[in-house]
Amino acid sequence: MILFTALAALLAAALLAWLLWPARSRGQVSAREANVSVYRDQLRELDGDLAGGKITQADYDRSRRELEARLLQDVVVAEAAAPAGRSPVGWVAGAAIPLIALVVYLGVGSPRAIEGEAEHAVTAQQVEAMVARLAARLRENPDDVDGWKLLGRSYGALGRFAESADAYAKAATRAPRDAQLLADFADALGMARGQSLQGEPEKLVRRALEIDPTNLKALALAGTAQYERKDYKGAANTWRRMLPLVPPDSEDARAIQSNVDEALAMAGVARAPAAKGGGALRGEVRLSEKLRNQASPDDIVFIFARAAEGPPMPLAVLRKRVRDLPVTFALDDSMAMAPQAKLSSFARVVVSARVSKSGQAAPQPGDLQGASAAVANDASGVRVIIDSVVR
C-alpha cells in the first residue's frame, strides 16, 4: 500500500468537499465562525477609531496585522481540534485541512468578503485568486515564514505540488529546525517528483526525525519511503513507532496497525508479537496546581523515558491529554522509537512529561514539563510532577 496514491486522492477530496460545501445551518455556529464574528467586531472598532482620528494609519495597519495573526492562530487550533478519524494518510495530508479558513483570512482584505465567505460556497476561481494574492504579498514580505508555510499548504491542496515545494523551500531556508515544516516540504517535493519520496524528499524526512523523532507526519513518510523501495520490515518498524503517539484503540491506532500488518505481510512475516524486555516502567504523572491555569484540557501530554546516561532519543513514548491528568502510565519496549534504543537496553532511566502547546514532542517555549529522578528501567511507583515552564 503506497500512501502517496491515497494522499493525492485525499487532498483532492478535501478541496472538492470545501468548494461544494453548502452554507451551514443558521443554528450551528462553529468555532471558526465565532472567531470571524469577533474579528469583524474588533475590525469595526479599529475602523471607527481610524475614522474618528483616535489612531494613526500606521497604528491601524499594525493593529490589523496583529488581529489577523491572532485569528490565524485561533483558526489553526480550531481546525486541529476537529475529531480525528484518519488513517496515517491523514497525518500526511492533515496540514491541508486548515486551508478552508486560512487562505480566506490571509488572502481577503475586507470584513465584507469574510462575511460573505461564511454564507456562500467559495468557487475554485476565488480560491485561486486568494492564493495568488497571498503569493503576491509574500513577494513583498519574503521573510514571513508562516506565510510561506500557508502558501505551501494552499498550493498542495490545489494539486500544484511543484509550487508547493518551492514555497516550503523558502520557509525551510528561514526556519531550518522546524520538523513539521521539513516533513511538509518532503511531502510536497515527493508529490512533485512523480509521487516518490526517494532521494531529496527522504533526506528531508530524516532531518525532520533528527529534530523531532516523534513527528507523526515524518514517521508516516519515512515508512512510506521504505515501503516504496520494498523494505517492508523497515516500513513496519517505522510505522509502529507512531502507535504510542496516538490514543490507543482510536481509529488512528487501528489504521496504523493495519498498515504495519500489511507491510509485514508483504515481507512474508506474521504479525509481530508484543515486544519483550525487562517488564514495564510504571508510575503516575500529575500537573502542578500552580500551572493548571496555563494548560488547556486538550493540550497534548508526552510521557517518555530517556537513558539516564546515554543517547537523548526517547526509549519509550506515551501520548495523553491534560484532561487525563493525573494519569498512571506503563512504558515498555513496545513503545520504542527505534529498534536499537529500547527501554530494556538501559538499566537507569529518567521519566519526563511535557505539556506540548504545539502538539509536537520537541520542546517549545511556553510548554510545561517535569521529570523524575533516575530510576530502574522496570521501577514502579515513579512520580512525575509537571511543575516548570520551558523558557
Angle in degrees, CA 387, 242, 323, rounded to 5: 35
Task: Answer for the pair 353, 370: CB distance below 8 angstroms, yes or no.
Answer: yes
Angle in degrees, CA 302, 307, 310, rounded to 5: 130
Whole-model pTM: value is 0.58
pLDDT, position 157:
79
pLDDT, position 97:
40
pLDDT, position 252:
82
Euclidean distance between CA atoms 146 and 153, whole angstroms:
11
pLDDT, position 154:
84
Q: Which of 323, 298, 312 is nearest to 362 (CA)?
A: 312
Angle in degrees, CA 174, 178, 33, rounded to 5: 95
Q: Which of 333, 344, 343, 342 is nearest to 274 (CA)?
A: 333
Note down pLDDT in tens along the chain; length 391 residues. 444 434 433 444 444 343 333 333 333 344 445 555 566 667 777 778 888 888 888 778 777 766 655 554 454 344 334 333 333 444 444 433 444 444 444 444 433 443 444 444 445 676 677 788 888 889 999 999 988 998 898 888 788 999 999 999 999 999 999 999 999 999 999 999 988 999 999 999 999 999 888 888 999 999 999 999 999 999 998 998 888 888 777 788 888 888 888 888 888 876 555 444 456 899 999 999 999 999 999 898 999 999 998 778 888 888 889 999 999 999 988 787 776 778 888 999 999 999 998 877 778 899 999 999 999 999 999 999 999 999 8
Hey, how many other C-beta atoms are within 10 angstroms of the C-beta on 84? 14
Hey, how many other C-beta atoms are within 10 angstroms of the C-beta on 155? 25
